[in-house]
Amino acid sequence: MMGLMIRSSLAVAAVLVLGSGPAAAQNSPRAGMLEQDGWAAIKAGQAQAAADTFKAAIVLDPKNARLHFGAGLAAFLQRRDADAKAALEQALALDPRLTAARAQLAQVLRRQQDFQGAISLFEVVVAEWPEDPAVRDTLARWKREMELHERMRLAVGDHFTVSFEGPEDADMASKALEALDRAFWRICDVFGAFPTRSVPVVLYSGEQFRDITRSPSWAAGAYDGTIRVPMRGALDQGEELDRVLAHEFAHALIRSLATRSLPTWLNEGLAAVLESDDLSWAQQRVAKARSVPSLTVLAGPFGKLNGNDATVAYAASALAARALLDEAGGAAVANLLRDLGEGIDFEAAFVHRIQRSFAEFQASLGK
């Protein structure tokens, strides 16, 4: 019934490869210290701090490939794909043996929809890391994904392009476009904002969806720059189709306002509120739950939760997002998202846009 954000496990693998070993000879001891801080920030999930730290280190030691790799990884985590590509290419120009940087660059190309480029690079990575089965699995998955996309057809609407597999799915694709258009006007109206470009949507069979997105079994859709939804089962019912597509389109619009620094409860809560007008499921779920995690806990990712905990997490997030929209209005929430995307501190942005502290807002929930 829900979607989720896709995270890069390779980014973390790269940190383990590079970040924990002893630093190689440094041209500048200060740059060496900054590098350690940069990797620590990446591990802690503080992408902005990591970006700032690697940038400062590069000024001191501009020929150090690992620093450019770190800067590229931080940019990738912040979804600044063009910056990530430039930094990783620089890292590889300085040290062509830096396999982790090549693996990360392949991830950037894939996210930019350059499947062939990503696969070619990753074939080199597999040759350089022959003992790593996860790397081989990733390459095989990407190849299946590209083959599937090559087979797919395209339905183009005003605001969306929908890819689907066989002619028998064309009817479903046009229903999906209609549902997406309804969601578009309704959700854009709430925020007073519109996505700047056409949103790509891919309709998969259920099996392809799990394979390509590696979503947990409870996910009914995913958004990673492309809206991805399994067609069979849930989507055979009209209402479910509307709900899932509205949820994932809400993520697309939220992402166009803020590419980074969003607490998960806010991102998922808004998407859950905007998927339909009926929040009785969330009220019932929270009322029945033995304990409900705080919004501070729900700022972290939901992807590892089991189905039951995930439902409580989504329900609590949805009720908080509903309260926020009722209290401050969609335009103020859109401004909060924009501030977070620009790197403004959460508490400061919250007070400015919502007109009271986050602690006060949290305390008011459920009263």
Binding footprint of Zn ion on the chain (CB under 5 A): 3, 268, 271
31 or 187: whose CB is closer to Zn ion? 187
C-beta of 3 vs 38, nearer to Zn ion: 3
Reported for 228-233, long-range contacts at CB under 8 A and 24+ positions apart, including other chains, are 228/201, 228/202, 228/204, 229/176, 229/201, 229/202, 229/203, 229/204, 230/203, 230/204, 230/205, 230/206, 231/164, 231/169, 231/172, 231/203, 231/204, 231/205, 231/206, 232/205, 232/206, 233/206
Nearer to Zn ion, 254 or 349 (CB): 254
Question: Smallest gap, in angstroms, from Cβ of residue 4 to Zn ion?
Answer: 6
For the chain, the 3-state helix, strand and coil shares in percent, each to the nearest 5, are 65, 10, 25
Least distance from C-beta 221 to Zn ion, angstroms?
A: 7
Residue 3 CB, nearest approach to Zn ion (Å): 4
We find the least distance from the C-beta atom of residue 271 to Zn ion, in angstroms, to be 4
Measured in residues, the chain has a length of 367
Pairing verdict, β 199-204 and 219-223:
unpaired
User: Residue 231 or 245: which CB sits closer to Zn ion?
Assistant: 245
- Shortest CB 173 distance to Zn ion, Å: 22
**Distance (Å, rounded) from C-alpha 194 to C-alpha 228?**
20
Which residues does 1 contact at the CB level (< 8 Å), separation at least 6? 218, 220, 234, 311
Indicate the residue among 117 and 200 with the shorter CB distance to Zn ion.
200
Q: For Zn ion, which residue has the nearest CB?
A: 3
Least Cβ distance, residue 272 to Zn ion (angstroms): 7
- Looking at the Cβ atoms of 177 and 271, the one nearer to Zn ion is 271
